Structure 1
Amino acid sequence: MSTNILTGNKSPAILLGAAAAGFVVGLAANFGRKAVVQGMTAAQGEWDEGLKAEHRLTLRLFDAIEKTDASQTWKRGMLLTQLKHALAKHAYEEENVVYPAMRDHGQVEDADQLVHDHGYVKQYLYDLGEMPTADPEWIAKVREFRREIEAHIAQEEDALFPRLRAALGKEGNAHVTAEMNKAGFAAA
């Protein structure tokens, strides 16, 4: 180790090396976190199955929020943060891959309506973030939000995604799956 005997200071080369090592470790940790977060979706196989898994995760987060009471403000805040992250990643995948594929395959109005719905998702998340989590209206807003999310999920899973899946064919579905996983990894 190179230390100046008179001052006890470490040389700039050692400090630079330590900083570089810390940077590399941070990048590796972030890459690992992204791999874990997107891994659940990718493990489902096809793009639509990955999105369905994310829908189920979203509903589980709503379940966890709805099991809290007004005294659990910290827990509510943490769960809301998790919900925001999950929905942001999910929206990024859909808005940057799936909805454009829908437009390319004749589902223009449906894709535009889903993007419109996502605007209201962001509005709900904003409103909930602005309200005190102990406020009785907060949990009422969560329940209203959940009803809207459930309707959005049903529309996607029951009608729109099966129609897109059929229109894409084998190669198209493989392409959308790969692109969606890339988008999910980037957003994770």
Structure 2
Amino acid sequence: MFLHNRLARPPMLLILSIGRRPYTKDLGLENVNIALDNKGRVPVNERFQTQVPSIYAIGDVIAGPMLAHKAEDEGILCVEGICGGPVHLDYNCIPSVIYTHPEVAWVGKPEEQLKEEGIQFKIGKFPFIANSRAKTNFDTEGFVKILADKQTDRMLGVHIIGPNAGEMIAEATLALEYGASAEDVARVCHPHP
């Protein structure tokens, strides 16, 4: 555990929790002729239909991040699609949160992916040490980093490490979903002490 950039006390236990797998065993998919992909997931089309058009799949059994809020969005869109409505989900706008202390949250693309895709971008970074609320709460470790298109200023990714990152990432998700620029978000009045 780090406090003010110094090791406060050595960790007593480290939990490594990686490598989630879809739980598709014992669903009886072989009885309805639905084959799994090489990672044990159920392949679906853009409307969440499986190889059997009357059977749909969402959530942790299909490709994409294994997140409850992603599955919820997929479920709503799946039902809307079954009823004849449009189906569109931008997986780039699905936020991820690691509920630790400090919390870690992100949405959009990381720097490495933007570089690989040849996208010119700029970086804005704000440390929590400069935030009055963080100072008041004596919880100043962390930062907010915004990646925006160098030409258009459209937000491409947001990464937050610090207290309440899971709540703060919601505003960034909304901004990415609706194509806001970094300037748009900066001009919003954000309350603080």
Question: Is TM > 0.5 for Structure 1 vs Structure 2?
Answer: no
Q: Which has the larger radius of gyration?
A: 1
Q: Which category describes the TM-score, using the shorter chain as reference length?
A: under 0.3
Relative to total residues, which structure has the larger helix share, 1 or 2? 1
Relative to total residues, which structure has the larger strand share, 1 or 2? 2
TM-score, normalised on structure 2? Answer: 0.25
Q: Which has the higher contact order (CA 8 A, sep 6+)?
A: 1
